[in-house]
Amino acid sequence: MANFYVTHHKYPGNPQLFAVTLHKVAGKGVDENDPNFRPTFPEAEPTWKVLIYTTGKDSNGGTVGPVVAGVFGSEEKVNEFIESQISVLCSLIDWSQQGEFTAEVDNAAPVIVEQYPTSGQTDVIITSPIVIRVKDLLPGNGVDPSTVVMVVDGFTVNPTVVGNKYDVTFTFKPRPVFFE
């Protein structure tokens, strides 16, 4: 069982507990109809029994969830299922409830938390990647990467973007320069 807290970006003072219980069992496959089937792991399709519970409440103060399911397939498939169900449960939670919580305002700009090369750094190889990691701290609304412009030595470049809107990394890899 895994327990963790999820925090809404507008209500960071109101985290909700989520508990995920996961069991791998040998069971009938999706197309298995034999009533005398005796499952063993080498022959059986991996089946995951999933229980997801949250302390979050809906707008009427009612319980949200739980999710109980059997998922067939790989670890990646069950992980995708859990992520999607947590997203659904989060959308059902009324984050302004369960106390005196009001939405906090995003008054702070995103911040650069990592940069390579650093400002003024010398002896940097010309083909070294240029990396900037930006975070928008809670109660931030996040960074929209499509609105970011990266300029290197006066030239606009198209960086690779990795991460999510609250923690995003922009990487530009200069092409090698060949002299004749």
The 10s digit of each residue's pLDDT in 138-152 is 788 889 999 999 998
**Token pair of 9 as six digits:** 């970006």
State what percent of residues in the chain have pLDDT above 90: 36
**What are the φ and ψ backbone dihedral angles of 85, each rounded to 5 degrees?**
-70, -35
pLDDT tens for 19-52 read 999 888 765 555 555 555 555 555 566 788 999 9
More confident residue, 116 or 65: 116
CB 132 within 8 A of CB 152: no
Q: How many CB atoms lie within 10 A of CB 11?
A: 22
Whether pTM exceeds 0.95? no
> Which of 152, 108, 154, 146 has its CA nearest to residue 168?
146
Q: What local confidence, expressed as pLDDT, does residue 80 receive?
A: 92
> In Å, how far from its chain's centre is CA 120?
34
Q: What is the pLDDT of residue 153?
A: 84
